Structure 1
């Protein structure tokens, strides 16, 4: 059966390549996220239950001060990052699935050897930026929703509780194909209030006189 999902691109191809070129250049700090990690990071910020100031997340994404050629380049690069984040939020608000910058398959490779691992690691970096807010309510459910991102990120491979989970290659492959849906599930978790139980009908008192 053909995949009928329609994925919403978050940046035009030319803009994505421009961002990639800058983040791979000498003008970006050595520890800055690459374009795949930055994509995951910004999608996480679009999902996050609380908004963070641009100054906060930009500093974390670059891990230092970029050596922009001039103010024009600074404005261009920061605008591309902000656009990616805003487009992700807009798509999710409409119930649309974000287009991710890789094929949704591991193709027999370990996640950390693929862009999938880099993207999920970037997503988790976005979570760590305000971890308390992510887990402020319904911690158990949030942990379950984040587990696939954690398993695919390669950041938790040494955790004893994660060993058996990541050893199941078929499970990991299935999770990769579900990543866009999982992003939407997380977004809705923070924005759609849980349904209240319907009140039980009360029996009417008899008004018959005795």
Structure 2
């Protein structure tokens, strides 16, 4: 029986603490994403069907230009964010599960009141940056794959189709536990093309009088 791979950390603890301190400081806009939401956004960008320009997602994450203390600090913070995104791509490309910045359990609390909801809301922000690409082609399949992230984000509680899932605590708990695998499923769906079927070899015709060349 194949063992579930251990979660792969996208940054080490010191790097996450550095980002957390900066995003929680007064030098960023009050509406800027916090560390957990930013993590979700960047993982979504790692999964996304096509690249989103850095200027676009940086602007969404910070809601404007932060008050960086120097060019060195600016390069450091933006470099950590980009490395988190690139590490997520690298992990998913090798079939590894990304380590998420929270415990994978709700404990009876509504998702939107937990870091899980914040992370999923950040993930959906990444989807909204290029929504057309996510739903292009097979819209129904994309909606099914994104449904757990939508349900846990708390952004779609008013949607009639979401009520049955949101009102089922046990099902929500299972979705939380499956989040890393669901991220990998999305990556495989969008980033790994299906294998083309091998061509069927042509059968050789048996030799006969009809195969002789005319003289």
Normalised to the residue count of structure 2, the TM-score between the two structures is: 0.90
With over 3 angstroms needed to count, the CA separation of the structure-2 counterparts of 1:187 and 1:208, relative to structure 1, is same
Matched, 1:180 2:180: yes
Give, in angstroms, the shift of residue 209 of structure 1. 6.8
In structure 2, stretches of 5+ residues that fail to align are 211-215
Which residue of the partner structure matches residue 213 of structure 2?
none
With over 3 angstroms needed to count, the CA separation of the structure-2 counterparts of 1:106 and 1:144, relative to structure 1, is same
2:8·2:97 contact (CA, 8 Å) conserved in 1?
yes
Distance in 2, matches of 1:208 and 1:75, equals 76
Which residue of the partner structure matches residue 36 of structure 1?
36
Which residue of the partner structure matches residue 77 of structure 1?
77
Give, in angstroms, the shift of residue 67 of structure 1. 0.8
Distance in 2, matches of 1:140 and 1:198, equals 28
Distance in 2, matches of 1:45 and 1:198, equals 32
Greater Rg by CA: 2
Q: Count how many residue pairs are aligned between Structure 1 and Structure 2.
A: 208
In structure 1, stretches of 5+ residues that fail to align are none
Q: Secondary structure at the match of 2:151?
A: helix
Which one is further off, 70-79 or 88-97?
70-79
Give, in angstroms, the shift of residue 54 of structure 1. 1.1
Normalised to the residue count of structure 1, the TM-score between the two structures is: 0.92
2:27·2:68 contact (CA, 8 Å) conserved in 1?
yes
RMSD: 1.8
Distance in 1, matches of 2:128 and 2:99, equals 23
Which residue of the partner structure matches residue 100 of structure 1?
100
Distance in 2, matches of 1:198 and 1:15, equals 46
Q: Secondary structure at the match of 2:178?
A: helix
With over 3 angstroms needed to count, the CA separation of the structure-2 counterparts of 1:201 and 1:106, relative to structure 1, is same
Displaced runs of 4 or more, over 4 A: 195-210
Which residue of the partner structure matches residue 119 of structure 1?
119
2:7·2:96 contact (CA, 8 Å) conserved in 1?
yes
